[in-house]
Chains A and B, each alone.
Chain A
Amino acid sequence: MRKLKRVFGLISLVAIVVSSMTGCGNKGKTTSGDSSSAETIKIAVAGPMTGDNAEYGIGFTNAAKMMADEWNKKGGVLGKQIKIVQYDDKNSSEEAATIAQKIVSEGDIAGVIGHFSSGVCLTAAPIYQENKLVEISPSASHPDYSLVGDYIFRNNTVISAEAAASIDIAVNDLGKKKIGIISIKTDWGTNTSKIIKELVEKLGIDGVSIVAHEEVVEGSDDYSPAITKLNQAGADVVICAGMYNLVAPVAKQYKQINPDIKVVGFSNSYSQQLIELGGLAIEGVCFPVIFFSESKDEKIKNYVSAFEKEFGNKPSALTSQAYDSVGMLLSAIEKAGSTDKEAVRNALAEVDYEGVTGQTKFDENGNVNKQFVKVTIQGGKFVKMN
């Protein structure tokens, strides 16, 4: 009994310490916010700043800061300076719900850029919708996301469009017929693989079929059991529904067994890390993207070199989509002439924005349509496919 009491004592002590610490954190944040809210317009960037997918959240923040700087140099928006406020949701739905509550309760945030993965966005979006705060996700591609409400936008294509582009690469560009799918077991991954299957069935090209589908748990580094099964089923092209941290190891482990296998990915694997992680094995991996940093376009060239100078690496597709998202939000605020939530939403729905990820206009659901560029890896570099 005494032991039990001591354990309880310990637990309650820990609880008190933790709660008092978080209390302090909150206080610090609000006081610093109050001092500057009068003359600045605040935009929240929410995403994983620590943990497994931190590079995406940090990319979002960097892009947002860069866009805000550009506007601030021109005198800001509505005569006020723009301030980017960073929120860390660790790419977890539980954290995101708390963060979203926090953002809406701040009261002076003009709009939210984020969150990162579709599942997390789907948890946070209803909170923004309920409080009528505009959210633009640079990355969510789950069909259900923008259906949450009229304040919810995305600057990314819906996954069905991208899946069609990936299948197009596998079937038409690579000329393969036996498709294997490896997908991560998340809401997004499961849904994407379902969409791929439906699309292939609908296409109905003679001889093209899905020979096997394996779901894997994200972060299990050993994919050999799944690969063995795909190989046994005779797949000659594998569509990987996952990020670079799935595509690189799958390509590596698959090529040890079958050096002729072709791997097709999605735009979220477009990251310098894919090349660093994949080495020689990811040569020839293809995927569709809506932003390509090696593009010859003058505007994109300037943006890429400015970004590289500032942060030391080339912007990924999702980072650039975040960059444009901030631009769209700011133009909407400018057009609305105030940070009134409803006015901003209405202006944003009308915005026709010429950005680095192409001409962007939201449809009635808050989705965008974009042109895909087919990219492959040759000699350790991303190049455009012919």
Chain B
Amino acid sequence: MIGQQIFNGLTLGMCYALLAVGYSLVFGILRLVNFSHGSIYAFGAHTALLLVSMNLGIVPAVLLSLVFTGLLGVLIDKTALEPLRKKNSIPIASLITTIGISNIIQNLLTVFFGSEKKAFPALFNFGVISIGNIQITWTQICICIVSLGLMLLLVLVVKKTKIGLAMRGCEQNPKAANLMGVNVNFVISFTFFLGGVSAAIAGALISGYYQIVYPNMGYMAGLKAFAAAVLGGIGSIPGALVGGLLVGVSESMAATFLGSTYRDCMAFVILIIVLIVRPNGLFGKKGITKV
């Protein structure tokens, strides 16, 4: 049973990791925890559902939803966060703004889609493989593959491309980057776009796995992914992966040995321990002083 539970946890962890990447990307550049990320994820899932119901076919629908959700990320940055940056307001103002945005998105989704849980078509539904007494569905395997591929792609974008260079420049010192001719606002918007896209991919994959979509879906998942990002060292993409997997596995272990009611608290127990023992996380850089 433990093997099975570990695999359940790994799949769940992959989903958290995908979400945690979104937190890490934005935090890496702005030193801002984007609490609207969970709602962006719910938005991505709902857009995908809407487009699927328009008979576009599942693959184009999901791809289109990625674009829309990415644009939502840009929109959030342009309308709510950029004005605050221009006024040099205190960091906590941006943080609270993201919480507000999260509520706005969630309630708009409730208004347009209704609060009830809706069915989402199954993705990668090719059946079950049995290894020993462990049963693995193809959906789980595909989630792992797609997530890993996406993270690899993101690492490549950040490390190998020109825009990635600009992102790393902004991360170290936005002012200096600006003086070197980097369009900082564009880079930030691009980062939000990437964050939105990763949230939408997570939304589509997770909804395809559980086949459920509803406006509040991002709340708990978002908070747990945040814990995963902190565990891995917020700002680091491999850290998000490892953090997500650790949170997922510990959750399913907690469900096995302590009972299902204790699983939700695991992420937060981990969060507290990490903040006490190693505030920079497993892969985090030292010397981050701003919150």
Contacts and interface: CB of A to CB of B under 8 A. Distances in A.
Interface string B72-94: 00000000000000000010100
A256 B264 CA distance: 23
Nearest to B9: A225
A164 to B, nearest CB: 26
B185 interface: no
Interface string B87-128: 000101000000000000000001000111111000000001
B263 A225 contact: yes
Interface string B149-180: 00000000000000000000000000000000
A231 to B, nearest CB: 9
Contacts of A279: 119, 211
B262 to A, nearest CB: 9
Interface stretch (B34-42, B251-259, B269-277): B251-259
Given A7-B92, A229-B256, A277-B119, A221 B8 contact: no
A216 B211 contact: no
A51 B115 contact: yes
Contacts of B217: 221
A172 interface: no
Contact of A228 (B5, B117, B119): B5
Given A225-B5, A277-B119, A256 B128 contact: yes
B119 A217 contact: no
B17 to A, nearest CB: 15
B135 interface: yes
A55 B5 contact: no
Interface in B3-22: 4-5, 8-9, 12
Given A51-B115, A228-B4, A217 B135 contact: no
Contacts of A216: 260-261
A3 B118 CA distance: 45
Interface residues of A, number: 37
B210 interface: yes
Interface in A249-280: 249, 252-253, 256-257, 273, 276-279
B115 A55 contact: yes
A52 B260 contact: no
Contact of B117 (A3, A226, A245): A245
Residue among B4, B255, B260, B261 facing the most chain A CB atoms (10 A cut-off): B260
Interface in A265-300: 273, 276-279
A220 B223 CA distance: 13
B71 interface: no
A341 interface: no
Determine chain B's interface SS by DSSP, over half rule: helix
Given A219-B216, A249-B210, A225 B118 contact: no
Residue among A50, A214, A225, A232 facing the most chain B CB atoms (10 A cut-off): A225
A357 B179 CA distance: 75
B216 A225 contact: no
Contacts of A106: none
A159 interface: no
Given A215-B260, A256-B137, A224 B8 contact: yes
B115 A53 contact: yes
B1 interface: yes
A251 to B, nearest CB: 11
A222 B9 CA distance: 10
Interface string B231-260: 000000000000000000001100110011
B220 interface: yes
Determine chain A's interface SS by DSSP, over half rule: helix
A152 B5 CA distance: 46
A273 B116 contact: yes
A18 B27 CA distance: 31
B67 interface: no
A197 interface: no
Nearest to A273: B116
Contacts of A335: none
B144 interface: no
B51 interface: no
A118 B148 CA distance: 44
A219 B220 contact: yes
Nearest to B117: A245
A50 B119 contact: no
A6 interface: yes
Contact of B263 (A3, A220, A256): A220
Contact of B210 (A222, A225, A273): A222
Nearest to B1: A232
Nearest to A6: B90
Contacts of A245: 116-117, 212
Contacts of B256: 225, 228-229
A269 to B, nearest CB: 12
Contacts of B264: 217, 220
Given A54-B115, A215-B261, 19 more contacts: A51-B115, A53-B115, A54-B114, A55-B115, A215-B259, A215-B260, A216-B261, A217-B261, A221-B212, A222-B12, A225-B9, A225-B251, A225-B252, A226-B260, A228-B1, A228-B256, A248-B117, A273-B117, A279-B211
6 contacts: A217-B260, A220-B220, A228-B256, A229-B256, A253-B210, A277-B119
Interface of B: 1, 4-5, 8-9, 12, 90, 92, 110, 114-119, 128, 135, 137, 206, 210-212, 214, 216-217, 220, 251-252, 255-256, 259-261, 263-264
Interface of A: 3, 6-7, 50-55, 185, 214-217, 219-226, 228-229, 232, 245, 248-249, 252-253, 256-257, 273, 276-279
